[in-house]
């Protein structure tokens, strides 16, 4: 029987995957608003249970069937082998029969999810300079591109590390990969595999793949955080579209930069999750529901942004709580700076709470 902590972690992963299928469905034209509201108010595992025992397929199920994307249904997710411990065989039979009734090729799909090969033994080298000089984010990208996209050392040096491949000749990427033990036999090994499934297989093997798992876990967590941030952005967008479009074209244009999930994630990694004006932290005040949440503010005057530009998360973005963010932008013609809002709070006997 799976340990309680592992079960909780698996349920969290299921919840994130349910958000992922919502986002994928939206990208093909089906906006499952009701489904998203259910996930916002209830644990994904319980939502899945309610779908399993519904007397008839949901409207979302039939809509995805019409779009020929039953792979994006909760039912298909329940059949994912990594969640076998969360659902009984009876429950899996219920969704299997429902999917089969609508023509879903179950055996083929389940085989696709499990067809992950065991990775060959690693051959680590002692030279660690390139590995130690790279950040965790950079190392993880190098490993991911090599294993899952089959990129060459020179390609990685140029497009991931940012070097001139004619000068570096791929040695930086090679140094990072060789220290972990990844050689030519590993290049593109997981090209046709899902990252989650590949990680399950690697962790199942008896050999010591600690460094490799550490780097792939970093990629996996980054992807999930970006997905979660994208969901936060989507919720914010649906609530605020009317407000920001009303006579505030330049401000709305600026919000588009702040809503880039990658920039938001990097801003949070750099600046943290505390509001830089009042110190408010959502998780400290709201517990699990507030975890990883904060709004991101663009420090530059938005009136100067006439076209899309490259944003530096370290110098251009800053985390703010919802209240402080609204106060800064409350008057569209007089957008305050962070320092100006701090001065206002100080005059009223308020200030940083951290």
What tens digit of pLDDT does each residue of 283-334 get?
899 888 888 888 888 887 544 444 555 678 888 889 999 899 888 887 766 7
Res. 88: pLDDT tops 60 = yes
136 & 215 share domain: yes
Residue 25 domain flag: yes
9 & 67 share domain: yes
14 & 109 share domain: yes
Which residue segment(s) compose the domain that 31 sits in?
4-114
Of 208 and 255, more confident? 208
252 & 321 share domain: yes
Domain count, the chain: 3
What tens digit of pLDDT does each residue of 219-264 get?
888 777 766 666 555 555 544 443 333 333 333 333 443 456 677 8
145 & 106 share domain: no
Residue 333 domain flag: yes
Q: Is the sign of the CA dihedral 285, 260, 257, 333 positive or negative? A: negative
Residue 230 domain flag: no
Among residues 59, 86, 114, which one ends one of the domains?
A: 114
Residue 121 domain flag: no
Of 42 and 307, more confident? 42
Cα separation, 252 vs 248, in Å, equals 6
153 pLDDT tier (thresholds 50, 70, 90): very high
8 & 110 share domain: yes
The enclosing H or E element of 296 equals strand 295-298
Residue 343 domain flag: yes
Question: Are the C-beta atoms of 20 and 195 separated by less than 8 Å?
Answer: no
Q: What is the mean pLDDT of residues 168-197?
A: 89
137 & 82 share domain: no
Of 203 and 277, more confident? 277
Cα separation, 50 vs 41, in Å, equals 14
9 & 90 share domain: yes
40 & 83 share domain: yes
Residue 263 pLDDT: 77
Structure-token match 């519904």, residue found = 54
């Amino acid at each position: 029987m799976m340990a309680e902590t592992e079960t909780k972690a698996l349920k969290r992963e299921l919840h994130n995957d349910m958000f992922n299928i919502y986002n994928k469905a939206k990208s093909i034209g089906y906006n499952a608003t009701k489904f998203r509201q259910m996930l916002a108010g209830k644990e994904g595992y319980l939502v899945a249970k309610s779908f399993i025992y519904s007397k008839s397929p949901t409207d979302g199920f039939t809509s995805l069937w019409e779009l020929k994307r039953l792979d994006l249904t909760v039912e298909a997710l329940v059949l994912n082998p990594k969640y076998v411990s969360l659902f009984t065989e009876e429950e899996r039979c219920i969704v299997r029969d429902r999917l089969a009734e609508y023509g879903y090729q179950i055996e083929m799909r389940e085989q696709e999810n499990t067809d992950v090969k065991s990775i060959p033994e690693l051959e680590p080298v002692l030279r660690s300079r390139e590995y130690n000089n790279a950040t965790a984010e950079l190392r993880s990208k190098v490993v991911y591109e090599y294993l899952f996209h089959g990129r060459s050392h020179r390609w990685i040096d140029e497009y991931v590390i940012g070097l001139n491949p004619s000068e570096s000749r791929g040695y930086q990427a090679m140094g990072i990969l060789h220290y972990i033990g990844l050689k030519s036999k590993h290049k593109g090994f997981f090209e046709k595999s899902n990252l989650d499934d590949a990680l399950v297989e690697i962790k199942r093997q008896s050999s010591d793949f600690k460094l490799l798992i550490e780097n792939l876990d970093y990629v996996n967590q980054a992807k999930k955080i970006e997905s979660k941030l994208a969901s936060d952005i989507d919720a914010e967008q649906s609530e605020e579209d009317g407000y920001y479009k009303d006579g505030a074209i330049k401000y709305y244009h600026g919000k588009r930069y702040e809503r880039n999930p990658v920039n938001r994630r990097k801003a949070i990694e750099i600046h943290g999750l505390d509001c830089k004006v009042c110190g408010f932290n959502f998780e400290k005040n709201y517990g699990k529901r507030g975890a990883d949440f904060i709004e991101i503010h663009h420090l530059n005057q938005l009136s100067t942004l006439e076209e899309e530009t490259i944003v530096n998360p370290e110098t251009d973005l800053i985390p703010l709580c919802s209240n402080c963010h609204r106060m800064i932008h409350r008057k569209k013609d007089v957008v305050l700076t962070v320092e100006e809002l701090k001065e206002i709070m100080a005059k009223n006997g308020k200030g940083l709470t951290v």
